[in-house]
Amino acid sequence: MTGKCLIAVPTLNEAKHIAHLLEQLLAEAKAMDWPVVVIDGGSADGTQAIVESFIARGEPVQLAHNPKRIQSAAMNQAVAQFGDGLDYVIRIDAHGDYPADYCRALVQEAQTIGADCVVVPMTTVGQNTFQRAVATAQNSLVGTGGSAHRTGKGGAFVDHGHHALMSIPAYRAVGGYDETFRHNEDAELDHRLRLAGYRIWLTDATGMTYYPRSTPSGLFKQYFGYGRGRARNVLKHRVIPRIRQMLPLAILPAVVLAALSFVHWVALIPLLAWCALCLAMGFVATRRHFTEYGLPMSGAPLVGLAAMIMHLAWSSGFWLHLAQAATSGFGAKRA
């Protein structure tokens, strides 16, 4: 197998995960003589000290400081500083687990298929009860609307997926990530890659395990950011969202409409129908997946609740960004 990789790990306050993650990555990286770089956005929880302890014991890890803090800037910095002479960059999520041959499988797939980018299926796994409910929602229709990389439908060229491997020449040709994006930067980059003629392959040869937010507030904040990012993407590229992305847009209007229920009870119907649908789909998802994600049937209402949090947060973030862009008078230019 030819091809030399840069393994890039953006971090910000990942002390709980970074040591285990580096142990996973280093076995493969050392075997292949591939550099591992942690690009830290100013962690205050000891993440940098943990990385420095690996460096002190002679492990082939480098630590770079990312003053812009966000992941898009971290990846751009990694490729600019460490990408010369290398063929691929592999983006590693510090919140995940990876198979022992993850990076090699990605390179093999890119070279076999002739793809410029390889994205991976992402299975969400929970450790506490709420995380398990979120995992059940995110791995099923109620939480993702059937997104291919969330439901294991690999082995095809796609428009977008969870970022894993990218050709460094392709990455540099389109200018890397847009650093004005705090969320949805991966979908935005995929759009530009496809416009430039590069091909994105969703592999079924490997995948990753992701650990979701462990609290309702953390989940809401995450999906609120996703909604804002999607709206920013729509404004920048004038693209129409897919149906599965447009459906949640009705949620915030339904909540606002429910506030008029004092005028007539009919105003509650859209909100109540959405709640009932989420709870019903959460029950179905739990029954179908409880052996996989460790959530008993008694936790089914939590699955519906997790889906509601994701839908409402995404819808709120999307509409807020559109409103701010409209009132600014030059939203399209900023996007």
Find out whether 157 and 201 touch, Cβ atoms under 8 Å. Answer: yes
Q: pTM, whole model, 2 decimals? A: 0.86
% residues pLDDT > 70 (the chain): 94
Rounded distance between C-alpha atoms, residue 46 and residue 28, angstroms: 25
With cut-offs at 50, 70 and 90, classify the pLDDT of residue 54. very high
Q: For 64-84, how does the pLDDT look when each residue is reduced to its tens digit (9 = 90+)?
A: 999 999 999 999 999 999 999
Give residue-wise pLDDT tens across range 297-317. 888 999 999 999 999 999 999
Q: Is 89 helix (H, G, I), strand (E, B) or coil?
A: strand
Residue 335 pLDDT greater than 50, yes or no: no
Q: What is the dihedral of CA 39, 44, 50, 52, to 10 degrees?
A: 60
Predicted local distance difference test score (pLDDT) of residue 333:
45
146 phi/psi in degrees, rounded to 5 = 90, 20
Whether 54 and 125 have beta carbons less than 8 Å apart is answered as no
Of 131-145, 200-214, 248-262, give the lowest mean pLDDT range. 131-145
Residue bearing the bigger pLDDT, 87 or 138: 87
Helix (H, G, I), strand (E, B) or coil at 207: coil
Task: Tell me how far CA of residue 72 lies from CA of 30, 49, 127, in angstroms.
Answer: 26, 23, 28
Confidence category of residue 332, pLDDT binned at 50, 70, 90: very low
Which two structure tokens, joined as six digits, stand for 7?
């393994």
> Which residues face 62 on adjacent strands?
37
